[in-house]
Amino acid sequence: MSEQISKQQNELVKLVDHYTTGQDGFHTTAISSLGFARQSTITEPDYHVYKPSLFIVVQGAKEVILAKENFRYGPSDYLVASVDLPASARVMEASSEVPYLSLRLEFTPSQILEVLNDAEIPIKYNENARRAMYVNPMELSMLDAVIRLIRLLNNPTDIPVLAPLFIKEILYRILQGPHGIALKQIAIEGSYTYRIRDVIEHIIINYNKAFRIQELADIANMSVPSLYRHFKEVTAMTPVQFQKQLRLQEARHLLLSESTDAADVAFRVGYESASQFSREYSRMFGFPPREDITRLRG
């Protein structure tokens, strides 16, 4: 079995290497939910919001940090994020001779629900919430389905018919894995994770506005203690910590993309105190705003 997996992994390397055309960065494809990444150097942490997706490192290694939890994975594993999560990631193994290669396949709760219904997978509404990010060992059946999906890029006319079928197969394989319950929960209306997903969406849309915890508890139809417990179980953060990550990530983006000062950005992302913003920015990124942006641009 390991020899078969090795053979499939080698083919996957060749496919992704071909479609990244020797250029570092992220590459979109004719399959809208599928993209490839290439990096020829080890990187510093990159901060962004992970969308519900399957992530496979084809060559090299990567580390994702969610709050204080580290998820390191390489070609023998895959990573799943089942809800929107602010996290940081860095490439741990890469060189110009052996570049880091990876793929991302985004999915939606409705796609998960379709697989649950078609496969008649049992649903339990009162299961405890699970962490919405995890690493799982790679399996031959998963590799086979992913390779068939990528091969469609050579035959674009087949994509509208076959891509949805192969994606459904990939999601089915994830659901059958040891952590599949975490993915299943995002599609089950009324489950704890489903309700926390509504709260996450509210915080993301209103990231620069203050909220009351009771307001979030009402959205989730939970008590405040229950909201705290399940939110932290899903995201590894409290609602306030989650919002802070969003604000600081957006602030960094604004500082990099616009010629504006830190105090202005602080107020735009929801801070009432520029000094508090500077302290929290330094704790998250390791440098004060101005020094951090100068360093990144350099």
Model confidence pLDDT, tens digit, residues 140-165:
999 999 999 999 999 999 999 999 99
Mean pLDDT of 239-243: 98
Q: Tell me the two tokens of residue 170.
A: 């990939």
Shared domain check, 156 and 88: yes
Q: What is the average pLDDT across 114-143? A: 87
Q: Given this model, what pLDDT does residue 45 score? A: 93
* pLDDT at 78 > cutoff 90: yes
Cβ neighbours for 103, distance < 8 A, ≥ 6 positions apart: 16, 34, 35, 36, 37, 55, 56, 58, 146, 150
Report if residue 247 sits inside a domain.
yes
Is pLDDT at 3 greater than 90 in this prediction? no
* The pLDDT value given to residue 125: 65
Question: How high does pLDDT run on average in the chain?
Answer: 94
Q: Are 105 and 74 in contact (CB under 8 A)?
A: no
Instruction: Classify residue 73: in a domain, yes or no.
Output: yes
- Evaluate whether residue 125 is within a structural domain: yes
Count of the separate structural domains present in the chain: 2
What pLDDT does residue 250 have?
96
Query: Helix, strand or coil for residue 268?
Result: helix
Listed in sequence order, the DSSP H helices in the chain are 2-19, 109-119, 140-151, 159-176, 180-184, 192-205, 213-220, 224-235, 239-257, 262-268, 274-285, 289-297
Residue that terminates a domain, selected from 169, 185, 201: 185
CATH number for 136: 2.60.120
Percent of the chain with pLDDT over 70: 99
Same domain, 157 and 293: no
> Does 180 share its domain with 245?
no
Within a domain: residue 203?
no
Mean predicted confidence (pLDDT) in 217-222: 97
Q: Let me know if residue 233 belongs to a domain.
A: no
Place of tokens 């496969």: 119
pLDDT at 255: 94
With residue 152 as reference, give the H or E element that holds it: none
> Tell me, what CATH number does 248's domain have?
1.10.10.60
Q: Are residues 176 and 255 in the same domain?
A: no
148 and 72 in a common domain: yes
Is residue 165 located within the same domain as residue 281? no
pTM score: 0.94
Q: What is the distance, to the nearest Å, from the Cα of residue 279 to the centroid of all Cα atoms in its chain?
A: 27
**More confident position, 230 or 120:** 230
Q: Confirm if 191 and 127 have CB atoms less than 8 A apart.
A: yes
Domain that holds residue 47: 2-185
Is 157 found in the same domain as 48? yes
Looking at residue 218, what is its pLDDT? 97
Contact 83, 197 (CB under 8 A): yes
Are residues 21 and 137 part of one domain? yes
Residue 260 domain flag:
yes
Query: Is residue 1 scored above 60 in pLDDT?
Result: no
Residue 126: per-residue pLDDT: 66
For residue 155, is it within any domain? yes
Last residue of a domain, one of 121, 151, 185: 185
For residues 144 and 30, membership in a common domain is answered with yes
The answer to whether residue 24 sits within a structural domain is yes
Residue 26 and residue 172 in one domain: yes
Boundary of a domain, candidates 166, 185, 204 = 185
Q: Does one domain contain both 181 and 249?
A: no
Residue 28 pLDDT > 90, yes or no?
Answer: yes
